Homo-oligomer: A and B are copies of this chain.
Amino acid sequence: MKTVTEQVISEIRERILDGKYGPGAHLHEATLAADLGVSRTPIRDALRVLGNEDLLVYYPNRGYIVRSVELHDVLDAYDVRGTLEGLACRVIAERGLTEAQREGFAELIERGDTIFASPSWGQEEQSAWRALNSEFHYALLTASNNRHLEPIMRQIRFFPRIFDSRLDPQSEFFQNVHTREQRVRSHHDHMHIVEALIRGEGARVEALMREHVYANRELLRRAMEGSGTF
């Protein structure tokens, strides 16, 4: 991030995602400017960008308020994500993998094997897995060679984060979702997806990816409906 405006965008976005600015909160330009130690101009630029990302709602001449995000919105985000990553997988399989791509995916799988080689599941393994998981999904978008997918995915992947921020890390949800067991299952999904990609099984890999994302969606849905917090 080079310019002040970019930093302001990131900062305000983080505050929204972390829940510091709750749903419906009015973002006052002068207050934000004083708070962040910059003038109103970069603030206004940032609000416009975040409005485009659908994190804020714009009312002409009245400014921006934080969009309210319901469970419904997050589940819908998973639907879109699963569908589009399924598309990515299908076109990759139908086009066929290059040698470099095959090696790249094989290496990503190997790194997963390494993480799960030991039965421990501490902070280190968890953050390593999160990074690897992001890399894997991002690699698929890149390999699909469809330039529309990456910006779309960047937009919608914020919504689960907003929801996560509202949760207590000690809650039942975290206990059920972020377990080693669930991660191992995800890793196995990835293995099957890569195998299907290599074999060029387009329809199958699309279904596998959809189901892979859908599994996480359902995990969230059941945990939230069970807890009844929302």
Q: Which residues of A contact B (CB under 8 A)?
A: 2-3, 6, 44-45, 48-49, 52-54, 60-61, 73, 76-77, 79-80, 83-84, 86-87, 91, 145-149, 151-152, 155-156, 159
CA distance A6 to B60 in the complex (A): 10
Q: Nearest Cβ in chain B — how far from A26, in angstroms?
A: 18
Q: Who on chain B is nearest to A75 by CB?
A: B146
Task: For A44, list chain B residues within 8 Å (CB).
Answer: 45
Is there an interface contact between B146 and A76, defined as CB atoms closer than 8 Å?
A: yes
CA distance A60 to B2 in the complex (A): 7
Task: For A52, list chain B residues within 8 Å (CB).
Answer: 49, 52-53
CA distance A77 to B49 in the complex (A): 22
Task: For A76, list chain B residues within 8 Å (CB).
Answer: 145-148
Task: Determine how many copies of this chain the complex contains.
Answer: 2
Q: Who on chain B is nearest to A6 by CB?
A: B60
Within 8 Å by CB of A61, from B2, B84, B148, B149, lies B2
Task: For A87, list chain B residues within 8 Å (CB).
Answer: 79-80, 83
CA distance A148 to B74 in the complex (A): 10
CA distance A76 to B92 in the complex (A): 13
CA distance A54 to B148 in the complex (A): 9
CA distance A48 to B47 in the complex (A): 11
Nearest 10 interchain pairs by C-beta: A76-B146, A52-B52, A83-B87, A2-B60, A80-B148, A76-B148, A148-B156, A152-B152, A3-B60, A83-B83
Q: Who on chain B is nearest to A52 by CB?
A: B52
Task: For A3, list chain B residues within 8 Å (CB).
Answer: 60-61
CA distance A91 to B217 in the complex (A): 15
Q: Nearest Cβ in chain B — how far from A156, in angstroms?
A: 6
Q: Who on chain B is nearest to A77 by CB?
A: B148
Task: For A91, list chain B residues within 8 Å (CB).
Answer: 79
Q: Nearest Cβ in chain B — how far from A88, in angstroms?
A: 10
Task: For A60, list chain B residues within 8 Å (CB).
Answer: 2-3, 6
Is there an interface contact between B49 and A80, defined as CB atoms closer than 8 Å?
A: no
Is there an interface contact between A80 and B84, defined as CB atoms closer than 8 Å?
A: yes
Most chain B Cβ neighbours within 10 Å, of A3, A48, A91, A156: A48
Q: Who on chain B is nearest to A206 by CB?
A: B83
Q: Nearest Cβ in chain B — how far from A12, in angstroms?
A: 14
